[in-house]
Copies of this chain bind each other. A is one copy, B any other.
Amino acid sequence: MGRHREFDVDEALDAALCVFWRKGYEGASYTDLTKATGVERPALYSAFGNKEALFHRAMERYYEHYLHFFPAALEQPTSREVAAHILYNAVELNTRYPDQRGCLGIHGVLAGSDAAEPVRRALVDARAKGEKSLHERFEQAKKEGDLPEATNCAALAAFIMAVTHGIAVQAKAGFSREMLDAVADQALSTWPSSPKGP
Residues of A within 8 A of B (CB): 22-24, 26-29, 102, 106-108, 110-114, 116, 124, 127-128, 152, 154-156, 158-159, 161-167, 169-170, 172-175, 179-180, 182-183, 185-192
Contacts and interface: CB of A to CB of B under 8 A. Distances in A.
A187 B166 CA distance: 12
Contacts of A173: 124, 127-128
A106 B29 contact: no
A162 B161 contact: no
A166 B161 contact: yes
A27 B162 contact: no
Nearest to A151: B186
Query: Which of A102, A106, A165 counts the most chain B CB atoms within 10 A?
Result: A165
B174 A124 contact: yes
Q: Is chain A's binding surface mostly helix, strand, loop or mixed?
A: helix
Given A155-B185, A162-B183, A182-B155, A111 B113 contact: no
- Give the most central of A23, A111, A158, A186: most B CB within 10 Å: A111
Nearest to A106: B169
20 contacts: A23-B112, A23-B113, A26-B113, A102-B111, A107-B110, A108-B111, A124-B173, A155-B179, A155-B182, A155-B183, A155-B185, A158-B170, A159-B187, A161-B170, A162-B167, A163-B187, A164-B166, A165-B165, A165-B166, A186-B190
Contacts of A187: 159, 162-163, 187, 190
A79 to B, nearest CB: 13
A111 B164 CA distance: 17
Contacts of A188: 190
Nearest to A186: B159
